[in-house]
Amino acid sequence: MKIEDFNFAGKKAIVRVDFNVPLDENGNVTDDTRIRGALPTLKKVLSDGGALIMMSHMGKPKGKVNPKLSLSQIVKNVSDALGVDVKFASDCANADKEVAELKAGEALLLENLRFYAEEEGKPVGIDKEDPAYAQAKEEMKKKQKDFAKKLASYADCYVMDAFGTAHRKHASTAVIDEFFDKDHKMLGYLMEKEVDAVHKVLSDIKRPFTAIMGGSKVSTKIGIIENLLDKVDNLILCGGMTYTFSKAQGGKIGKSICEDDKLDVALDVMKKAKEKGVNLVLATDCLAGDDFSNNANTQVCDVKNIPDAWEGMDAGPEARKAFAEAIKAAKTILWNGPAGVFEFDTFAGGSKAIAEAIAEATANGAFSLIGGGDSVSAAKKFFKAEDFTHVSTGGGASLEFIEGKVLPGVAALDEA
């Protein structure tokens, strides 16, 4: 079912949102992006004349009640954003009374789902090595199903709109849907946007397609890199993984980060790129520092000839130029992972150059998707989300999705 085609009038809808917002030490919300992101779906339920039940996790309470992670702290923020007085149920698994009293046009927020271990469905207090673990896991699976059934019992229909947790098989994201038929479960608007953006980048490609993969390691990105080698015209590999590629080719990399056990992986990527006709763009120069800090002394070095006491911490001027050229020529752009230690302003220039080129290409009509936590922070450090076609809200979820994995939270609903 598509949310746009569903009429919530007279129905109770349970919506899985991602209200895992950051709080300060006094419990005040410091960034309400995620609350605002959920509004299109929440407002659709209310304006159709439905009764809205919201559920979310916050932090990692590991199956225990923890007042510091109570969603009661955000009720006012959600009320202000939605424009209705949101009610609160202080026990998500015992909210029958609050749900029964909920009328059309009203909204109810359930307490943190992860106060129950059943939400994540992992046995607590037992080691994975323990012989009894397998049985505990089996029992927990049954309990997880019961917990999901309880949540489902509150509502006539289910909406999944929490992209950030869509890669997890949790009760509220990927078990609850079993209790609704295909006409009463759907993705929310935020999820639809995420799914459409990744689909555009991976299946409905306008060429040339340039992907930029950065970040610290080859090992965490190799799945995506291999998936992309079959799809892209240009592949820019930057960030910390640059030095694994340099060393693999016999370069001197000083103190730069390197995964010595991935040198063959790097050579294999280079070989595959050649075989597949992919233009692999690796940095030729870097901005090296003599200390891992913002105040380090810097010098531009050849990436294959970095002095012993120095460390490659950002892309150099020649590399930035080559990256920008491959980006500006593209009609489809995907960026995941910064080009340097962007948290230090001194080494943020490479990531800035990438963001700038993507924003320019986007203004000229290219489709751009920025996915993954750190590249989103890097992009937002210099530009507004509106400068790109789509800035993904999920870290781990967007990585796994781009890698081509099926997300449990999407699978059951995509065809529904």
Taking the least distance from each CB to ligand AMP, the nearer of 220 and 299 is: 220
Residue range at the interface with ligand AMP (CB under 6 A); choices 38-46, 88-96, 117-125, 216-224 = 216-224
Residue 63, Ramachandran bin (φ over 0: left; ψ between -120 and 50: alpha; else beta): left
Q: CA-to-CA distance for 40 and 249, rounded, in angstroms?
A: 50
The residues, ordered by sequence, that sit 6+ positions from 220 with a Cβ below 8 Å of its Cβ are none
Q: Which residues, numbered 221-250, are part of the site for ligand AMP (CB under 6 A)?
A: 239-240
Output DSSP code: residue 174.
Answer: I
Q: Which of 251, 372, 373, 409 is catalytic?
A: 373
Eight-state DSSP code of residue 220: T
Q: Which two tokens stand for residue 247?
A: 């060393």
- Tell me: does residue 316 bind ligand AMP (CB under 6 A): no
What are 12's strand-pairing partners? 51
Q: Which is nearer to ligand AMP, 313 or 407 (CB)?
A: 313
Tell me, yes or no, if 271 is annotated catalytic: no
Q: Which of 169, 193, 217, 321 is catalytic?
A: 217
Nearer to ligand AMP, 122 or 381 (CB): 381
Instruction: Return the structure tokens found at 150.
Output: 């309880």
Number of residues lying near ligand AMP (CB under 6 A) = 15
* 313 counts as binding ligand AMP under rule CB under 6 A: yes
CA of 21: how far to CAs of 28, 69, 322, 377, in Å? 10, 10, 38, 15
Tokens 């763009």, residue?
Answer: 281
Smallest distance, ligand AMP to C-beta of residue 257, A: 5
Residue 1 or 238 with smaller CB distance to ligand AMP: 238
* C-alpha 410 chain-centroid distance: 14
The distance in angstroms from the start CA to the end CA of the chain is 5
**334-353 residues near ligand AMP, rule: CB under 6 A:** 337-338, 340-341, 343
Site for ligand AMP in 368-387 (CB under 6 A): 374
Task: Find the part of the chain contacting ligand AMP (CB under 6 A) among 40-48, 147-155, 213-221, 403-411.
Answer: 213-221
Name the phi and psi angles at 383, rounded to 5.
-135, 170
By CB under 6 A, tell whether 119 contacts ligand AMP: no
Contact of 372 with 363, CB cutoff 8 Å: no
Least distance in angstroms from the C-beta of 273 to ligand AMP: 20
Binder among 66, 79, 220, 279 for ligand AMP (CB under 6 A): 220
Alpha carbon separation from 304 to 5, 18, 24, 287, 288 (Å, rounded): 57, 44, 44, 12, 12
List 15's β-bridge partners, or say none. Answer: 54, 159
CA–CA distances in Å: residue 48 to residues 53, 88, 240, 416: 14, 22, 50, 21
CB 239, min distance to ligand AMP, A: 4
Q: Is 404 considered catalytic here?
A: no
Q: Cis peptide before 307, with omega less than 30 degrees from 0?
A: no
125 flagged as catalytic: no
Residues composing the chain: 416
Provide the mask over 262-301, with x wherever binding to ligand AMP is found by CB under 6 A and - wherever it is not: ----------------------------------------
**Helix axes 317-328 and 349-363, enclosed angle (nearest 10):** 20
34 is catalytic: yes
Q: Of 7 and 219, which CB lies nearer to ligand AMP in the complex structure?
A: 219
Among 251, 289, 312, 349, binds ligand AMP (CB under 6 A): 312
The CB-nearest residue to ligand AMP is: 215
Token duo for residue 410: 């999407």
Per-residue contact flags (x/-) with ligand AMP for residues 166 to 185, judged by CB under 6 A: --------------------
Kindly list the catalytic residues.
Answer: 34, 217, 373, 396
| Contacts with ligand AMP, residue ranges (CB under 6 A) | 215-217, 220, 239-240, 257, 312-313, 337-338, 340-341, 343, 374
